[in-house]
A and B are shown apart, each in its own frame.
Chain A
């Protein structure tokens, strides 16, 4: 297929995934900040939301204070923020238009329909909590529909695999970013700097990757920070864990490699990252330093994006 088409499919999937992630982040932050101050301590959760979205620096160039109103506006509607939900949806539609021929009508319909629906939200904004909640839910549902229609209607060929690469690469980045910002509340008990207040932080983390219920099913335990870290990093049965994302990335890249009859640096790099995750134990990760581990992962993941681009997309 055309390199440009593959590139558009890859980015289309990334933008949709990112829009959902930002919506989840806002959702989770709203829940945590609705608690009485005694339960969450003095951290500014809106500041964390900016950090997990990776846009804290550009935010402060445009706004003064990281409060609820400013951050929601910046993350949801701001046209200058390339990662705002608005820009993700706009970019997703732009990419969809460029590759209409490679999309199924269900996928196009999802993106175009959402884009039409959201024009009104862009022009008016949301005026109440209910409206905001409806908007955030709509964005998440759009992503689910998009994912579902891709899964159900796309031919299983390179177009599908490149789009999946986008999903998993973006998802891995998002999960890693939450861990990066919140790692300090996930340290083992003895090193722990927080207190019992962190319970609400933990549920918030799990909520933002839709893993709260999953946690209980996997560990049948009360919330333990190191188990949360284990779930999000190493447990490949959780779709948003780093291990699961890399399992999928390796598989998709292999499928492309088989179809084209050729493996390359992208396949090798992804396998390297996957093997490291597979052979890691949480104890080692903590020993090594969670922060360092995550930082390294984020760099590796970004590197994979560059390699895939060079090998296939330009």
Chain B
């Protein structure tokens, strides 16, 4: 694997311009001071209760995501390009979803094979022909971005269902400002704190027609045992909206109400952090205790906006991902600003045979997997694991895609032995309301803390960093 692009010490070893001041500061700051601040940060996180539950790990029912105190920095110029690319990408995702559940022009144009949509478990036939308020499907998108060089931003994954992590973007900043006021004084960092405001106005802007002039918005959580529960309560608090569970809601005459101490109160917009499958036991999984019976019929009647819409999974599916550059061109007639990772679709025999011949060099992902589970990283895998994947691939090729093992860019990171480069990615959050798309300058930088590791997922030992966009 090639040597990774380091975002501070560029290709020639010269400090890149966005990192000049940080680099100077790091030289002035004794290593002990950094370690001390790191411990202080951890204490703050635990105190505030910013925890993350890891499924299947009973000892660590509430774990902290390790926080790295060295910020990841992008210049204003880099951000401008990225922002434009993200808006373009999300616009295309929304148009694609509208099309898939209505005219299906893109299928008729033979750009995407029919069976990839109709055989796909995340395709929701319930949404066929159903209009959603203002044609917005993906109100909140988390687009995972990686870099391999100075030039391009590459989309690793589109998250169009219930992307999480934005609370870390906000809390990391708060904690950094508390711990390093001097470092902030030496930079002009674009603020991220208006995200909750932007989110609230985005959600209110997409209220259904039957809503009152001041629509009521609620955030729906699966409950305190969900891994992202802290984020749900954090956002509800910042937005000043009720944090509801399925049992707090009831549907009457195709309208949705919440049970309050003063009786039933109508809800117009639900920012739901519950997966499609669990929303309504009458439509989806009958065993779901998290959902609200009748919610889908209120949705069909146009009396409630669900954000994100039902059925958006078809847009961020890993099998669809490989078509995204064509999707952007088809709907917008523009060249995609953000690149895709070259992807082999194992469902296509030619691609499959290439993948089988090169398993040791590739990353193989389950089409429907997430969270870094169920994936093969060829160069890091044992022979036995590779052979096990080979069998799986042969048995069910349509369940997998493969990509080259990319040398994700690195950033200096505070580890036991001092500062060392570690691989990072970036998840900015894109908000789409009735009239406009907004992105708060920043995002969640995830960092793979283990030396050489490329897996940044928090469930797999990844950490986070504050992400700075310089306001030049």
Contacts and interface: CB of A to CB of B under 8 A. Distances in A.
A6 B261 CA distance: 7
Interface residues of A, number: 23
Residues of B contacting A: mostly: mixed
B371 interface: no
Contacts of B233: 97, 100-101
A94 interface: yes
A147 interface: no
B58 to A, nearest CB: 15
A109 B223 CA distance: 21
A2 B47 contact: no
Contact of B46 (A94, A116, A158): A116
Given A94-B224, A112-B49, A113-B47, A101 B261 contact: no
Contacts of A113: 47
A228 B259 CA distance: 44
B248 A98 contact: no
B224 A3 contact: no
A192 interface: no
Interface in B241-285: 242-245, 247-248, 258-262
Interface in B364-418: none
Contacts of B244: 2
Interface string A1-40: 1111110000000000000000000000000000000000
Contacts of A98: 223-224
Interface string B278-296: 0000000000000000000
Contact of B49 (A97, A158, A162, A314): A97
Given A100-B237, A101-B243, A1 B49 contact: no
B259 A2 contact: yes
B47 A112 contact: yes
B217 interface: no
Interface in B201-258: 223-224, 229, 233-234, 236-237, 242-245, 247-248, 258
A135 interface: no
A314 B244 CA distance: 14
A97 B224 contact: yes
A290 B47 CA distance: 47
Contacts of B237: 100-101
Given A98-B224, A101-B233, A101-B236, A1 B47 contact: no
A199 interface: no
23 contacts: A1-B242, A1-B260, A1-B261, A2-B244, A2-B248, A3-B259, A4-B245, A4-B247, A4-B248, A6-B261, A97-B229, A97-B233, A98-B224, A100-B233, A101-B233, A101-B237, A101-B243, A108-B49, A112-B47, A116-B46, A162-B261, A312-B261, A313-B261
